Amino acid sequence: MREAYHDQLSRLIDQLADMCGMVGTAMERATRALLDADLDLAEQVIGGDAEVDDARANCEEYAYSLLALQAPVATDLRKVLAAIHAAESLERMGDLALHVAKAARRRHPHAVLPDSVRDQFAEMGRVAVDLARQAEQVVRTQDVNLAKSLEEADDQIDELHRNLFTVIMDKGWPHGVPAAVDITLLGRFYERFADHAVSVARRVVFVVTGRMPGYGNDEIV
Q: Render pLDDT for 96-154 as a digit per residue (tens, 0 to 9).
A: 999 999 999 999 999 999 999 999 999 999 999 999 999 999 999 999 999 999 988 89
How many domains does the chain contain in total?
1
Give domain status of residue 40, yes or no: yes
Cα–chain center distance at 42:
17
- Closest-CA residue to 26 (of 50, 62, 54): 50
CB-neighbour burial class of residue 209 (10 A; exposed 0-12, middle 13-18, buried 19+): middle
Answer yes or no: is pLDDT of 77 > 70: yes
Q: Give yes or no for a cis peptide into 178 (omega within 30° of 0).
A: no
Give domain status of residue 140, yes or no: yes
How many percent of the chain have pLDDT more than 70? 95
Give domain status of residue 174, yes or no: yes
User: What is the predicted pLDDT for the residue at 75?
Assistant: 83
Give domain status of residue 30, yes or no: yes
Give domain status of residue 42, yes or no: yes
Give domain status of residue 220, yes or no: no
Domain residues for the domain of 6 are 2-209
132-136 contacts, C-beta under 8 A, 24 or more apart: 132/20, 132/21, 132/23, 132/24, 132/27, 132/93, 132/193, 132/197, 133/20, 133/21, 133/24, 134/197, 134/201, 135/20, 135/197, 135/200, 135/201, 136/17, 136/20, 136/21, 136/24
User: What is the predicted pLDDT for the residue at 2?
Assistant: 61
Cα separation, 15 vs 58, in Å, equals 9
Structure pTM?
0.91
Q: The domain that contains 92 carries what CATH number?
A: 1.20.58.220
Give domain status of residue 216, yes or no: no
User: What is the predicted pLDDT for the residue at 1?
Assistant: 53
When the pLDDT of each residue in the chain is averaged and rounded to a whole number, the result is 91
Give domain status of residue 172, yes or no: yes
